[in-house]
Each structure stands twice: as C-alpha cells, then as structure tokens.
Amino acid sequence: MISAERFEKIKTLLSYRQPDLTVLMDNVNKPHNLSAIVRSCDAVGIETVHAVSTDDVIKDRQRAARGANKWVNLVLHDDINHACAALRKQGMQILVAHFKEGAVNFRSIDYTVPTAIVMGAELYGPSSSAVSKADHLIYVPMHGMVESLNVSVAAAIILFEAQRQRTDAGLYNEPRLKPGDIKKRLFELAYPSVSKKLREQARSYPELDDKGNIIR
C-alpha cells in the first residue's frame, strides 16, 4: 500500500512531464555521468531518456543506470542512426552538443518545440554520425582555461535553459502526457514490484482509487 502523500507527489511529478523533450547519450560511459544526466532529466520533467552504445561494457553501464532510476524511462539503442530515426519519427529537432565551426550558442535555440539533445562520449564527443544528423550544433560559451565541461554538467546547463523557456511558455502548467500514459505510469511508480510481476505475466494493471489504493 502507498501513502496518500506519496501518491500525490507522484501525480504531481507526472503532471510536469515533458514527453517532447529528451536527451540522447551517444556512448556516454562513465557511471557517475550516466546517473547525473538521468537525474538532471528527471529534474526538468523528462519522461524518457535515450542512450546509444557500440561497446558491450558501456551497454552494461547504461543498463545499470536504467535500473538505478525508476522515475525516468531509459531506452537503449544499438546505433545512432536508429536512435535518431526514432526521434525524428516523434517530430523532434536534433541538437548535438559539439563545439566546432557552425555551432551556435545553446541559448539561441528554441527548446519549446519537440527537442532531442545529443550528448557525446566523455573523451571523444559525439560521433560523426550524430553530428551528421544534427539540425543544429550547440555549445556552452566558456571564458576560462578549460576547453570543455564535464558531459553531465554541460547536459544540466542546457536542460535547465530548456526548462526556463518551457516554463515561460506555460508548458508546465497543464499535464502533457496522454491520460492513458499517466494512468500507466502512475501505477508503475506507485507499485513498481507489482507492476513488474504483472508485465512478466502479460496482465493489465488494476485500477487505483483517488488515494492510490488498488481497486480489487
């Protein structure tokens, strides 16, 4: 059984979710960076995060990150082309964080439209395939000796600019997830172990009352 207070917190969380804003991690591999990016995504209301890996070790780390945060969905892809195609199908613009000729200040972008932000691997940055798929290359202006930010720090800075713009545009004022998706996620977040068993048995979720109790 879930407390009424916790149930209301989960309902509030879902009311702020932004289904048309996401991050795609392109071979990001360090566990602390994976976890930090997912936490930042949760903080700005992202419902689903994506990750690509060409290495089995990185895939295992990404799977671990998926299991460590139940508040955000993490979808794993085998290659960047498949991931970008899936995001394009959702009507998202693709922004790749990469400082090179043609890149624009990240604050000059409109984040109120459906947006996927691609963050590259720690040492090498985004793959050439990711760069080729970009609508815009973006960078965070810096005025010190350090040439680049930690990938999780850069992701957080960009995400909170997206949050600022979306707040100003009123996109957090009304629930943006579909009613059916809210109902599904509400049960999964309120009863994670029960929902896991039901999924394994290919059974539908039961109804919940206004206080979060299962209606038998």
Is 123 a domain residue? yes
Does any domain span residue 92?
yes
Mean pLDDT, the chain, whole residue set: 93
In a domain, 196, yes or no: no
CATH number of the domain residue 73 falls in: 3.40.1280.10
What pLDDT does 124 receive? Answer: 87
Identify whether 191 is part of a domain: no
> For the chain, how many structural domains are there in total?
1
Q: pLDDT tens digit string along 106-140?
A: 999 999 999 999 999 988 899 999 999 999 999 99
Within a domain: 161:
yes
Residue 116: inside a domain: yes
What pLDDT does 54 receive? 81
pLDDT at 146 over 80: no
The predicted pLDDT at position 88 comes to: 97
Q: Please check the confidence at residue 145 and state whether its pLDDT lies above 80.
A: no
User: 87-98, pLDDT tens digit by residue?
Assistant: 999 999 999 999
What is the per-residue pLDDT for 68?
A: 64
Instruction: Tell me the residue range of the domain where 75 lies.
Output: 18-168
Q: Is residue 60 part of a domain?
A: yes
Residue 52: pLDDT over 70: yes
Taking 80 as the threshold, does the pLDDT of residue 155 lie above it?
A: yes
User: What phi and psi values does residue 214 have, to the nearest 5 degrees?
Assistant: -75, 130
Q: Is the pLDDT of residue 65 over 80?
A: no
Can you say whether the dihedral through the CA atoms of 157, 160, 165, 166 is positive or negative? positive
Residue 153 lies in a domain: yes
Mean pLDDT of 26-41: 92
Residue 66 pLDDT > 80: no
